[in-house]
Amino acid sequence: MENTCPVCGELKARDHASVLKRCGACGLYFRTERVFISPVYAPGLEDGIYGSAKKELFAEALNSMESMLNGKGRLLDIGCAGGEFLKAAAGRGWRAEGVELDTALAVKALARGFEVHTRPVEEAGLAGGAYDAVTVFEVFSQMEKPAAAAAELLRLLVPGGVIHIREFNAAFHLPLYRLEKAGLFRPLGISPSIIHNLNFRARTLRFMLEKAGFGDIRVRNSPPTAGDPYRTGGALGGFLTGALKVLYYWLAQALWFITLGRVFAGSTLIVTAGKRPSDGHSS
């Protein structure tokens, strides 16, 4: 049904802008007509988008998971692209494999020597309780069945296993989208908003993970990617765009501190959670 929320199943989503509906129960903003197409970037951009621009984010994710687990283990990266994060993880001693639906990207990851599953994770038939960690970098926003995927990821984790999510923050991108549509950024040629099929806020991500059965859910503003990998900065150029992103991140952090952790204004969010040690269900 057009009005059914893909996260919580609420049947009375309200209109928001011309192409989005807002779920009053969990706060998800979702497209009324879903679009599932493989991303196509200008020549030379893929390496930055999937790899070099996220180098520090990859390192931070691995540091975080290693601290939470007290070590390393078997890792599954959802939406692994060409295996950039898998390579970083393997270089630190993780046994890494991925899920990637885009055939061309999956081939790149396979060529790097990684095992790659090419069906949605909830349909891949992977063994339960097989992974110590799962990572999901900006992929929930493009899923068809995010709630089912979250539940499946819990099943795949060992008791005490962890999930690390990075996702776009609708509380940042939707106001920018409205300003962009009004033409405010046209003189500079910039397009800072990112709108996907599903657009999450902090409380929506928390709701989805709680519903799936995860515990110890923690949300924080994510540091930005380096530079301007998508080339959306227009006349500002890569250096200035990157500098403004860092400045805004620290402003968002200041707001988070002032509001005692209640307001998440960052352009992206990082969410970590765990499978309770007592939850041994893996079948």
pLDDT single digits (tens) 245-262:
999 999 999 999 999 999
Quote the pTM value: 0.91
Token representation of residue 49: 């988008």
Identify the pLDDT of residue 192.
Answer: 79
Identify the pLDDT of residue 248.
Answer: 95
Q: Let me know: does 3 contact 12? Beta carbons within 8 Å.
A: yes
Using alpha carbons only, give the angle 202, 180, 223 rounded to the nearest 5 degrees.
40
Structural domains in the chain?
Answer: 14-34+46-274 (3.40.50.150)
Residue spans of the chain under pLDDT 50: 1, 283
pLDDT single digits (tens) 136-161:
999 999 999 999 999 999 999 999 99
Which pairs from 114-121 meet CB under 8 Å and 24+ separation? 114/80, 114/83, 114/86, 114/87, 114/90, 116/80, 116/83, 120/144, 120/145, 120/149, 121/76, 121/78, 121/149, 121/152, 121/153, 121/156
Identify the pLDDT of residue 184.
Answer: 83
